[in-house]
């Protein structure tokens, strides 16, 4: 008994040490210069917690540990392969998948733990019946009301996260079986509400009847309803809102892990899941504020349809320029603000953009990058791309500092950004973007927009910026056009 107590205390201390690493890692990941280091610190914390848990569960048995090491090696290889091979444009899809993996892992852990305890309960009950000394089975195997409630919640949140993440992946990937635009039908919201209420009630019923043999049926029903809920919740959300959905699903995966931690009485899972859940909710709140929308509006508003309604009735013609003309204007400019968007990510143009900025800086130009919180398809998408190209952190400006610089800028160079530069957000009350904080690129003296066409962005509405007198469109692939701009500057 003393040896077991000592082992438990040591394990708790290891979990606390891992939790400290998680906290420091999250803190470092909040700033661009230390983000990569924070990721490594958090990974070390997770490795320590995982190794300690498996060692404690196996009692140090060599054969069991071998299987654990093999499983970790297989998972590590798959994760490394995914991380190194994925294109930056597909990074949001990978994040969605990883969120889903976390959700299904929590669901499976909760269900497996219930099955193990329920089997043990039946065995203990049979033995006690033979001995003629019946006693509550939960006293022996831990099927208490609290653990059953946590099991139900872990299953519910994990199932929603899993199927919701798969739908998010399909929308981001552009698969045929999941349309990018919102899929909404009559009665969808009442169905969602009913499934959610019934699922939570079943969790309460399980908690209130820990010795009931029908709890297995209730848990099975929770699994089915959770999987359906995940589909219904995300299928009705459009591509324009996917950055918020990714952050929310990340929070769900953390909450599911925390519930699984309560099921297993594992402090590391509880702490880690709580940290992920809280940080995901904070990020979701930040993203909603950046879009000037409530979370309920994101979940049920259906923005992102390609119908094109609600935008300004654009009149006039867009003015087209060549890379040669744009290079001449850039040569005469003193301050240039580069506004990256998803088009830059698609074209993998970040290195060409860095080269162009270098040419401008050689000529004594001041160059900044204006980063909108929801530019791209996931939080921090543009920051990661530009950091990959070696862009210095101090020239990456957030929304407010960017808008302070834009009226003083000679040129705003917009590379594939659409909705986050749409002036309708300031002036058109009928626009679905109205009230959303945008980058005020139209207030620069000259605006060059590099884009393949005049097609709308994720919100499905036309951008009147393209038809303003101070805007010039440079059509073509972003990487090719930016490279041509840099070459033209070298020749001037």
From 180, 419, 424, 440, active-site residue: 419
Residue 437, number of CB atoms within 10 A of its CB: 18
Backbone phi and psi for residue 213, each to the nearest 5 degrees, phi listed first: -75, -15
Give the CB-side neighbour count of residue 335, counting CA atoms within 13 A.
Answer: 15
Place of tokens 């498996």: 54
Copy the structure tokens of residue 218: 């209730």
Burial 98-112 (b: 16+ CB within 10 A, else e): bbbbbbbbbbbbbbe
Q: Which of 301, 177, 176, 239 is nearest to 457 (CA)?
A: 239
Q: Which of 447, 155, 476 is nearest to 343 (CA)?
A: 476
CA triplet 151, 50, 19: central angle to 5 degrees? 85
In the chain the first and final C-alpha atoms are separated, in Å, by: 82
Contact 160, 235 (CB under 8 A): no
Contact 272, 312 (CB under 8 A): no
Supply the DSSP symbol for 452.
S
- Name, in order, each residue with C-beta under 8 angstroms of 329's C-beta and a sequence gap of 6 or more: 410, 411, 446, 448
Contact 383, 251 (CB under 8 A): no
Helix axes 2-29, 35-58, angle to 10 degrees: 160
Contact 143, 137 (CB under 8 A): yes
**CA separation for the pair 235, 256 (Å, rounded):** 21
**CA separation for the pair 298, 312 (Å, rounded):** 22
Q: Which of 481, 483, 425, 474 is nearest to 453 (CA)?
A: 474
Active site residue 419: yes
- Give the E-state strand segments of 419-482 in sequence order: 446-451, 471-475
Contact 46, 272 (CB under 8 A): yes
H-state helical runs in 132-187: 138-141, 145-173
Backbone phi and psi for residue 364, each to the nearest 5 degrees, phi listed first: 80, 15
Q: Which of 236, 285, 249, 226 is nearest to 95 (CA)?
A: 249
User: Which residues are marked as active site?
Assistant: 419
């Amino acid at each position: 008994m003393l040896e077991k107590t000592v082992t438990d205390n040591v394990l708790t201390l290891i979990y606390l040490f891992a939790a400290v690493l998680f906290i420091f890692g999250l803190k470092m990941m909040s700033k661009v210069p230390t983000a990569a280091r924070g990721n490594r610190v958090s990974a070390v914390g997770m490795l320590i917690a995982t190794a300690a848990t498996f060692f404690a569960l196996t009692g140090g048995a060599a054969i069991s540990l071998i299987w654990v090491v093999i499983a970790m090696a297989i998972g590590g290889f798959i994760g490394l392969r995914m991380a190194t091979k994925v294109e930056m444009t597909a990074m949001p899809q990978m994040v969605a998948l990883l969120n889903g993996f976390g959700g299904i892992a929590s669901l499976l852990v909760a269900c497996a733990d219930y099955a193990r305890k329920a089997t043990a309960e039946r065995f203990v009950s049979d033995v006690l019946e033979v001995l003629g000394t019946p006693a509550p089975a939960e006293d022996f195997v831990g099927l208490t009301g609290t653990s059953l409630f946590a099991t139900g919640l872990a299953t519910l949140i994990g199932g929603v996260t899993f199927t919701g993440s798969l739908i998010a992946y399909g929308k981001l990937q552009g698969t045929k079986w999941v349309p990018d635009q919102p899929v909404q039908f009559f009665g969808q919201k009442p169905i969602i509400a009913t499934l959610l209420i019934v699922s939570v009630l079943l969790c309460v019923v399980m908690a209130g009847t820990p010795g009931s043999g029908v709890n297995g049926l209730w848990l099975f029903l929770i699994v089915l309803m959770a999987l359906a809920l995940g589909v219904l919740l995300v299928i009705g959300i459009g591509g324009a809102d996917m950055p918020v959905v990714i952050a929310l699903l990340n929070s769900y995966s953390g909450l599911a892990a925390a519930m699984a931690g309560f099921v297993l009485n594992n402090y590391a899972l509880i702490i880690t899941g709580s940290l992920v859940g809280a940080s995901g909710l904070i990020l979701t709140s930040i993203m909603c504020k950046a879009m000037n929308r409530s979370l309920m509006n994101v979940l049920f508003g259906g923005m992102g349809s390609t119908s094109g309604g609600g935008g300004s009735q654009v009149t006039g013609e867009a003015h087209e320029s060549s890379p040669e003309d744009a290079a001449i204007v850039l040569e005469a400019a003193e301050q240039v603000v580069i506004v990256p968007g998803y088009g830059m990510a698609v074209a993998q143009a970040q290195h060409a953009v860095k080269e162009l900025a270098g040419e401008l800086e050689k000529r004594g130009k001041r160059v900044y990058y204006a980063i909108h919180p929801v530019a791209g398809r996931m939080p921090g998408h543009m920051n990661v791309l530009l950091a990959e190209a070696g862009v210095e952190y101090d020239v990456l400006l957030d929304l407010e500092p960017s808008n302070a610089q834009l009226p003083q800028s000679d040129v705003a160079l917009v590379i594939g950004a659409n909705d986050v530069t749409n002036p309708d957000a300031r002036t058109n009350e009928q626009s679905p973007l109205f009230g959303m904080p945008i980058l005020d690129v139209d207030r620069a003296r000259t605006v060059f927009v590099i884009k393949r066409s005049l097609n709308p962005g994720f919100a499905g509405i036309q951008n009147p910026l393209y038809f303003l007198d101070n805007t010039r469109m440079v059509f073509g692939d972003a990487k090719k056009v930016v490279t041509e701009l840099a070459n033209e500057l070298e020749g001037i």
